[in-house]
Amino acid sequence: MTDHSPAAPPAPAVLVVDDEEQMTAIIAFALETQGLRSVIASDARAARELLEREPIELVVLDVMLPDESGIELCRSLRETSDIPVILLTALGEVDDRVAGLTAGADDYLTKPFSPRELALRVQAILRRTAGTGATAASGQVLRCGPLQVDPGVGAASWDGTALQLPETELRLLARLAQDAGRTVPLRALLQDVWGTSRTEGGRDMVKSMIYRLRQQMLAQGAPPDLIEAVRGQGYRARVLPSPRRR
C-alpha cells in the first residue's frame, strides 16, 4: 500500500560556529535530542558561506574564533538579518557579554555550560520566532502614544515609521508597551522575553537591550526617557499622548 501521508517538515537548522571539534560535537548531539539539525562552521568565513546557501534559523556563535571575533560577526549579521544569535563566552568575561548583546545577540551562555540548557534556549527562541507564546494576545496591537507594536506579525512603528527590530528586541518592547505606565520587574522581563528566571547576568542582558532600543527609538524622534529605568525594580514605558494628525 502506498503511503500518501504528508512528509514531515525538515528539522530547523542551527548553525554552530566554534573551532573546538569536541565542543561542536557535544552541541550538535544536544540539539539533535531536541529535534534540531546542526550545521557546523569552524570560523567566521565558513559561517558566512553557510548562511548564504543554507536555510539557517538560528546561530550559536563562539566569541573566540580563529579569523574574526564572534562579536564582529554578530554585528555584521545584524546589519543584514534578524536571525537569532546565541553567544558563547568565556566564564567571567562580562565585557564580552555586554559587547555581544550591544552588537545584537539575543542571548548568551558562559563556558562551561549545560548542553541541554543551550538546546532548550534554542528551542525557546525558535518558538518565539515562529510566533508562539507571543507577549500579547494574538491580533492585539499595543499602542503607547506614537508607539505601536503588533506582536502577532512581528512589527513595530514610531509615529507611523516602521522600526527595524530583531525579534527579541521586539518582544521586549511589546512587553513594556503592554504595561505602559507601570514598572515591569526585571524578573518578569527575563521570564516573559527570554524564558528564564535566572537573574545572574540577566541584568546586563536587559540593560544592553534597553540601550539598543533607546538608540533606535531616538533615531526616529522618540524622547530619550520613553523607557525609564526604575532603580532597584525594573523598567517602565512612559504613557505618551497620541500624535495629532494634520
Q: For the domain that residue 41 is a member of, what is the CATH number?
A: 3.40.50.2300
pTM of the model: 0.62
Q: For 116-174, how does the pLDDT look when each residue is reduced to its tens digit (9 = 90+)?
A: 888 888 888 887 766 543 444 445 788 888 888 887 777 888 888 888 887 788 888 98
Residue 113 lies in a domain: yes
CB-CB neighbours of 65 under 10 Å? 22
Q: Does residue 97 share a domain with residue 43? A: yes
List of residues 6+ apart from 96 with CB closer than 8 A: 63, 71, 87, 89, 90
- Choosing from 129, 150, 185, the residue where a domain stops is 129
Take residue 229 and report the three cell numbers written for it: 529605568
Q: Measured on CA atoms in the order 118, 122, 128, 132, is the torsion positive or negative? A: negative
- Choosing from 108, 129, 150, the residue where a domain stops is 129
Is 70 exceeded by the pLDDT of residue 54? yes
- Choosing from 129, 160, 187, the residue where a domain stops is 129
How many domains does the structure of the chain reveal? 2
Q: For 19-32, how does the pLDDT look when each residue is reduced to its tens digit (9 = 90+)?
A: 999 989 999 988 98
Of 246, 227, 57, 84, nearest in space to 149 by CA: 227
Which range marks the domain in which residue 117 is found? Answer: 13-129
